Amino acid sequence: MRRNLASIPSSRLGGEALIIEVFTDPNAALDRCEDMQFDLLVSDYRMPEMSGVEFLARSIASHPNTPRVIVSGFADRDAIIAAINEAQLTRFIEKPWVDAELQ
């Protein structure tokens, strides 16, 4: 995912270089959200310590207007609807994703 997103040309981003921060610990990511304003938050659905839905829902406090995307191979319709509502998702991307769709 990181490699795919990093390949987006800056010309598609208004001339700005894309800066990507990756976390393996959702609590560390939430701590970073307190210090940094992100333009987009992306999370996997299933993670250790907390779900991606919980992570993105908790991020609303520090990033109320930031688009939130969840990526998952878990495609239970009810779970997706709950995730969209609870975490105010902008988009759900199913694994395996299509690179162009992710970009």
What pTM was computed for the model?
0.89
Number of domains in the chain: 1
- Calculate the average pLDDT of the chain: 91
| Band (75; pLDDT cuts 50, 70, 90) | low
Amino acid identity for residue 44 in this structure:
D
| Count, residues in the chain | 103
Q: What is the CATH number of the domain that holds 58?
A: 3.40.50.2300
Is residue 14's pLDDT more than 80?
A: yes
Asked if residue 58 belongs to a domain, the reply is yes
Whether 17 is in a domain gets the answer no
Question: Does 3 reside within a domain?
Answer: no
What is the model's pLDDT at position 65? 96
The predicted pLDDT at position 101 comes to 84
Domain that holds residue 48: 24-98
pLDDT at 74 over 80: no
Q: Residue 82 above 90 pLDDT?
A: no
Report CA torsion sign: 37, 8, 99, 48.
negative
**Helical (H) or strand (E) element with 100:** helix 99-102
Q: What angle do CA 83, 88, 89 make, to 5 degrees?
A: 70
Average pLDDT over residues 68-96: 86
* Domain-embedded: residue 11: no
Picking from 74, 72, 66, 68, the residue whose alpha carbon sits closest to that of residue 55 is 68
Separation between Cα atoms, residue 40 and residue 63, nearest integer Å: 9
Q: Give SS3 for 1.
A: coil
Q: Is residue 4 part of a domain?
A: no
